[in-house]
């Protein structure tokens, strides 16, 4: 059984006050959300504690946006897995393209982070995807297969989510065609040893295109940036038809 998982990625947005305001508007719209959908909010570190306190008894799961591979140490600016699990975090995004592009994340560090997350019983959401240039050069498949091969060495595929996020579709409003996302996700699945890994699509998912995306047979969920910041639009996305 592949779980349906809709995750919001707030990136570097929202103070604690703004996060709580979001929650008030969002929670009331979940009465109609089918039970079999997992809803995750991946928020800034500063917001995790107050959201955790306010999500008690709710069906929303908390996620972080990064985790270091050591459980403690002299790593200024990083966060360790026990610091996340202590406050009830269940998921963590690993290898987001913005981390790879702006902060020097490599397949090797992605691999280390994935394994540490799993050892702490966090479920990592591994992001893979190609740039526009790589797509135009017909390198989409080889790049993604290489990201998977290097990233997944020694990783337990029974506690893993993958997000296919074509970089050219992130924050651009330029969504990948639903059928093309479905094709690539099918190819990703063929590379895995566990056929039940949930694979999300991410990149300009919004209320207007979520129904078509989620209707694709290979797509098990969505990783949503910009459209997860407003209660109304994220509620419409988790309540996809
Ligand atoms: P977007 O971001 O929905 O704003 O395109 C997706 C992501 O970066 O995960």
Q: For residue range 106-118, list pLDDT tens digits in order.
A: 999 999 999 999 9
- How many Å apart are CA 39 and CA 236, to the nearest integer? 12
Nearest atom in ligand 1 to 205's CA = 3
Is residue 240 predicted with pLDDT exceeding 90? Answer: yes
Nearest atom in ligand 1 to 127's CA = 9
Report the pocket of ligand 1 as residue ranges, CB < 6 Å: 9, 165, 170-171, 202-205, 223-227
Q: What predicted TM-score, i.e. pTM, was given to this entire model?
A: 0.97
- How many Å apart are CA 68 and CA 74, to the nearest integer? 11
Integer-rounded Cα Rg, in Å, for the chain is 17
Q: Is 68 a catalytic residue?
A: no
- How many Å apart are CA 137 and CA 163, to the nearest integer? 22
Q: Which of 38, 68, 96, 105 is catalytic?
A: 96
> How distant is the alpha carbon of residue 54 from its chain centre?
21
What are the boundaries of each domain within the chain? 4-201+232-238
Helices (H) and strands (E) in the chain, counts: 10, 8
Domain 4-201+232-238 CATH superfamily: Aldolase class I (3.20.20.70)
What's the pLDDT score for residue 56? 85
Is residue 1 predicted with pLDDT exceeding 90? Answer: no
Would you place residue 88 in the very low, low, confident or very high pLDDT band (cuts 50, 70, 90)?
A: very high
What's the pLDDT score for residue 150? 98
Q: Is 96 a catalytic residue?
A: yes
Would you place residue 175 in the very low, low, confident or very high pLDDT band (cuts 50, 70, 90)?
A: confident
Question: Can you tell me the mean pLDDT for 28-44?
Answer: 97
For the chain, what percent of residues have pLDDT higher than 90?
Answer: 97
Q: Which of 38, 98, 105, 165 is catalytic?
A: 165
Question: Can you tell me the mean pLDDT for 169-194?
Answer: 95
């Amino acid at each position: 059984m592949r779980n349906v998982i809709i995750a919001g990625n707030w990136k570097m947005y929202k103070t604690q006050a703004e996060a709580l305001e979001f929650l008030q508007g969002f929670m009331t719209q979940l009465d109609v959300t089918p039970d079999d959908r997992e809803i995750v909010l991946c928020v800034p570190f500063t917001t995790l504690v107050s959201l955790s306190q306010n999500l008690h008894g709710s069906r929303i799961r908390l996620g972080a946006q990064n985790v270091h591979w050591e459980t403690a140490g002299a790593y200024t600016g990083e966060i360790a897995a026990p610091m996340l699990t202590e406050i009830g975090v269940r998921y963590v995004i690993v290898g987001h393209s913005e981390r790879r592009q702006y902060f020097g994340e490599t397949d090797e560090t992605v691999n280390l982070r994935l394994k540490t997350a799993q050892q702490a019983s966090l479920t990592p959401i591994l992001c893979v995807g190609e740039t526009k240039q790589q797509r135009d050069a017909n390198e989409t498949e080889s790049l993604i297969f290489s990201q998977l091969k290097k990233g997944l060495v020694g990783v337990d595929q029974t506690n893993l989510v993958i997000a296919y996020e074509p970089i050219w579709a992130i924050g651009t409003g330029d969504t990948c065609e639903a059928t093309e996302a479905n094709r690539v996700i099918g190819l990703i699945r063929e590379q895995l040893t566990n056929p039940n890994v949930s694979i999300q699509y991410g990149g300009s998912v919004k209320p207007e295109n979520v129904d078509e995306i989620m209707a694709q047979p290979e797509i098990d969920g969505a990783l949503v940036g910009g459209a997860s910041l407003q209660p109304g639009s994220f509620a419409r996305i988790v309540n996809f038809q």
